[in-house]
Amino acid sequence: MSDRLEEKNPISRRKFIQISGALTAGSTLSSGLMPNRVFAGFQEEKQPKIKKFKTLGRTGFQASDVSMGGTRVREANIFRYAYDCGVNYFDVAEGYHNGDAERELGKALKHMERKKVFITTKLHLDPDESEESILNRFRECLKRLDTNYIDALYMHSVKKVSLLDKPEFHSAIAKLKADGKLRFNGLSSHGPRRDSEDSMEKVMLAAAEDGRFDLMLFIYNFMNRESGDKILKACKENNVGATAMKTSPGVLKVDDYNSDQPTEEQESRLRRYRRRYDSQEEIDQKMKEWINNQKETMKKIQPFVDKYGVKTEEQLRINSIRWILQNPDMHTVCVSFKDFDFIDKLIPFSGEKLDEQSTGFLNNFKDIYSNQYCRHGCTDCISTCPELVPVSTIMRYAYYYEHQGREKEAIQKYQKLSDMNVSKCNDCTAPCLNSCQHHIDIPRQLSKAHQMLTLA
Ligand code: SF4
Ligand code: SF4
């Protein structure tokens, strides 16, 4: 990928798609389909533009209200296109696609005005990690991003308050700042995996109090706002830059099934069933069960689909993000764009208020789906489980699989849980059953997640 051509002139998206051949406007840009060129920019007649910028806490940076995360991006031109639309905050991590997200952003950065963008990257830290190791890993991030400095380095997915105090991290940050290689530092959290770990809320509130963290990236959506609101308040009081992630609950699945013309998602499910089951009978049976589930879902949501006209997961996602955009205390919403189309669909809502119709939809949706959506980062039920199964972590992996198109990664993450997985539930009397304040049927949901995440 390093020998890619760099194009000096901007290009239209239509032309880009012609050059890249197999790509279509809405397709995922997988590494196999890369156009082998990084373009200087995009010139569209009707390019959507960011309309609102907010001060990112004490950094003072004016961040676009919609920012871009690199969890799903493996193509520099998507970053470049977002920049042309006014997005100026880009978030990647050492661990995203083994550094490829950083590499692709680095290529796109060549065609951006460096001072006008805010680049963040993240490192998972071991409790016993040395300062030298942190500095070395950071230098590798700099190389992959191909830039002289990084705006912010985050501790990635912090699971224990005690890690916040890690002297080796703070001394490394001080050195990097003194060398002009780094401007700010922050942290992200997804909540705990084990009962010995701390909730996202606890970690973030402690970090705000600590005073050494300039930025925070945390889970926030309309179904899961209680702890997020507390964190936001702490960010405001301590002038910390606040970025939202995991912005949509993603439980709306309404595609009709036509066996002659399955949707992309249905086709991918069929492929998995074919790999897993030997006989056509079993495959048909599994597909039938899944379709029946879909139909049940359809039946439930039909009244408000009719009322609000929202019937796809993408529409739900856009509305969920719009709900956050109108919050004056959330500085930016980090969206994992994976194609041009979603950028075109979402950016027009920058700076816009959520209308009454959409607010009504989200409230209605929240009521109906409350007992199906396990809140990311929640730990409330873990103490009821004698086996300490990490419920919200497993549900989050299922979310990556089902709603973010990160199937392989979700399966790998689930495999890493090894003996902490759902197999523990097999001989259990399920004392967790009534422990969720949102009335989630924990054993049933876990069993569904397990089926999905072991469907390799
Ligand atoms: S099932 Fe309920 S209590 Fe358990 S982690 Fe999910 S939201 Fe929290
Ligand atoms: S059913 Fe599973 S999650 Fe629930 S208490 Fe038993 S082992 Fe824990």
pLDDT band at 241 (very low <50, low <70, confident <90, very high): very high
Probe ligand 1: pick from 221, 246, 388, 395, max atoms within 8 Å of CB?
395
Report the SS3 class of residue 337.
coil
pLDDT band at 410 (very low <50, low <70, confident <90, very high): confident
Give the ligand with the smallest distance to the CA of 443: 2
Average pLDDT over all residues of the chain: 83
Distance separating alpha carbons of residues 334 and 242, to the nearest angstrom: 10
Q: How confident is the model at residue 192, as a pLDDT?
A: 74
Lowest mean pLDDT of 29-43, 181-195, 291-305, 349-363, name the range: 29-43
* pLDDT, tens only, 371-402: 878 887 778 888 888 888 889 889 888 888 87
Cα 384 to ligand 2 centre (Å): 8
The residue whose C-alpha atom lies closest to atom 6 belonging to ligand 2 is 430
The residue whose C-alpha atom lies closest to atom 8 belonging to ligand 2 is 385
Query: To the nearest 5 percent, what fractions of the chain are helix, strand and coil?
Result: 50, 10, 40
Structure tokens at 416: 């890493």
Distance separating alpha carbons of residues 318 and 320, to the nearest angstrom: 5
Structure tokens at 170: 């703070």
Torsion over CA: 298, 302, 304, 307 (sign): positive
Probe ligand 2: pick from 394, 428, 441, max atoms within 8 Å of CB?
428
Q: Is the pLDDT of residue 346 over 70?
A: yes
Summarize the confidence of residues 316-341 as an average pLDDT. 90
Q: How confident is the model at residue 421, as a pLDDT?
A: 80
Full DSSP string of 196-210: TSPPHHHHHHHHHHH
In short, whether 452's Cβ falls inside 6 Å of ligand 1 is no
Q: Is the pLDDT of residue 35 over 60?
A: no
Q: How confident is the model at residue 387, as a pLDDT?
A: 86
* pLDDT, tens only, 144-173: 999 999 999 999 999 999 999 999 999 999
Which residue shows structure tokens 């830059």?
A: 241
Q: How confident is the model at residue 1, as a pLDDT?
A: 41
Q: How confident is the model at residue 33, as a pLDDT?
A: 39
In short, whether 374's Cβ falls inside 6 Å of ligand 1 is yes
Report domain extents, the chain.
5-250+315-349, 382-453
Each as own residue / partner, the long-range contacts of residues 162-170 (CB below 8 Å, 24 or more positions apart, any chain) are 162/127, 163/125, 163/127, 164/203, 164/206, 164/207, 164/210, 164/212, 164/213, 165/210, 166/125, 166/127, 166/129, 168/129, 168/130, 168/131, 168/134, 169/125, 169/129, 169/131, 169/134, 170/212
Structure tokens at 174: 């001080």
Those residues with Cβ within 8 angstroms of residue 427's Cβ, 6 or more apart along the chain or in another chain: none
pLDDT band at 244 (very low <50, low <70, confident <90, very high): very high
Architecture of domain 5-250+315-349: Alpha-Beta Barrel (3.20)
Q: Is the pLDDT of residue 135 over 90?
A: yes
Compute the chain's Rg from CA coordinates.
22
Burial of 399 (0-12, 13-18, 19+ CB in 10 A): buried
Q: Is the pLDDT of residue 58 over 90?
A: yes
pTM listed for this prediction: 0.76
Q: How confident is the model at residue 3, as a pLDDT?
A: 44
